[in-house]
A and B are shown apart, each in its own frame.
Chain A
């Protein structure tokens, strides 16, 4: 087998494995644009991953201090993303620490 064939097969296997991963089916992306989350309430399930993408010209942050799940994804610039895996059911109140007017909720089902 040539080197290029090996690379091709490995790539194909990676794609097949990635498509088979159940977590990807629950992945959701929320944009931060014009100093607001583009989703007010997001419905999700335990095990899902939520990705936040900064589409503004300035830095944003994402955090939650909710009882259901707390996290701090830090601050990041335009075009960058941060992700969080949902680990428990409940309502997660998400904010941007830099801009406290930016708020949204994630309702996590079992």
Chain B
């Protein structure tokens, strides 16, 4: 008994010290603006549950959510391709090439505004948009609901996720949004460095991060743990043919003509080609674009200026950007209900 007591007296301060260290590191991690929170926020009416995530996963991978049952959400947001598609611009209904690149959905659950032009505000708003868009999955929502109701295996899935609410456009949207809230970036070398592992990234990447915040001005828009200001900027991309007005369609203001939402840089090494029109194949090409201060100066964002980066500085920026990519998790493609 006395031995036990003595051992408790010895271990208690150690436990307290360990506790303080753990709490301290958690607090430090949480207060670091470059480290993302562990969980994405969900609205009160659609809190995450395993049943909701499971339903959303089924819907996400189900090609029957498209008119010809040939496209699922995962056709464009492919987990094997950084939750994008590896194409310059997306391939839509009947393989028609669309005007804009498929944005990754990694960490999109942290964003208060969705889509390249911000026309949707929440994941729930966004979820059914591509399903009914004529150029994309092209399936009107009433038709989708009838189709899902005719698949017996879905009834129990919807009931488990949203008891008493049935199969509706609302529950489809909420299920998809729930699954998307689980699509998060994994711990990257950059994250391990921020948490104290000095060997996690190279000296080049560390210098690249300094440049990112200072001389290269990247953090003016790519700020915080998700590396986006959730804002809209015309960055002067060269365009062919009819210019894409971007955010101007939602906010008819001069500064929004040709402006698009700042994308995340998380897992960026997995999502080439880059930019909203897929015009650059490599991160070096992207850095070169910003070094030039953009190409098309029409209505250029006033933050865009030539940077005069040296060749070494450009390499450092690329090394830093590559350090933002973690090891992608294995994603299970579920068996679909019949």
- Chain A interface residues toward B at CB < 8 A: 35, 57-59, 61, 63, 65, 72, 74-77, 97-101
Pick from A35, A74, A77, A100: contact of B118, CB under 8 Å: A100
B231 contacts which chain A residues (CB < 8 A)?
Answer: 98-100
**Interchain CA distance A86-B322 in the complex, whole Å:** 49
Pick from A35, A58, A97: contact of B303, CB under 8 Å: A58
| Minimum CB–CB distance for A94 against chain B, Å | 13
Asked if A35 meets B229 with Cβ closer than 8 Å, knowing A72-B253, A97-B256, A100-B118, the reply is yes
Given A63-B251, A74-B254, A76-B302, 17 other A-B contacts at CB below 8 A? A35-B229, A58-B220, A58-B229, A59-B301, A59-B302, A61-B255, A72-B253, A97-B232, A97-B253, A97-B255, A97-B256, A98-B229, A98-B233, A99-B230, A100-B232, A101-B112, A101-B113
- Assess the A77–B253 pair: CB atoms within 8 A: no
- Assess the A98–B113 pair: CB atoms within 8 A: no
**Interchain CA distance A57-B229 in the complex, whole Å:** 13
Closest to A95 in B: B251
**Interchain CA distance A75-B302 in the complex, whole Å:** 7
Interface of B is mostly: loop
17 A–B contacts, CB within 8 A, in A order: A58-B303, A61-B255, A63-B253, A65-B251, A72-B253, A76-B302, A97-B247, A97-B256, A98-B229, A98-B231, A98-B232, A98-B301, A100-B113, A100-B118, A101-B112, A101-B113, A101-B230
B251 contacts which chain A residues (CB < 8 A)?
Answer: 63, 65, 97
Closest to B251 in A: A97
**Interchain CA distance A76-B233 in the complex, whole Å:** 13
Which 7 A-B residue pairings sit nearest by Cβ, starting from the closest?
A58-B220, A99-B231, A75-B255, A98-B231, A59-B302, A72-B253, A97-B253
- Assess the B301–A61 pair: CB atoms within 8 A: no
**Interchain CA distance A103-B229 in the complex, whole Å:** 15
Q: How many residues of B contact A (CB 8 A)?
A: 20
A101 contacts which chain B residues (CB < 8 A)?
Answer: 112-113, 230
B255 contacts which chain A residues (CB < 8 A)?
Answer: 61, 72, 74-75, 97-98
Closest to A58 in B: B220
**Interchain CA distance A59-B232 in the complex, whole Å:** 11
List residues 77-114 of chain B with CB under 8 A from any CB of chain A. Answer: 112-113
- Assess the B253–A99 pair: CB atoms within 8 A: no
**Interchain CA distance A51-B329 in the complex, whole Å:** 50
**Interchain CA distance A72-B259 in the complex, whole Å:** 16
Closest to B220 in A: A58
| Minimum CB–CB distance for A46 against chain B, Å | 24
Closest to B232 in A: A98
**Interchain CA distance A69-B81 in the complex, whole Å:** 47
Closest to A80 in B: B302
- Assess the A57–B220 pair: CB atoms within 8 A: yes
1/0 per residue B233-277: CB within 8 Å of A? 100000000000001000101111001000000000000000000
Closest to B252 in A: A65
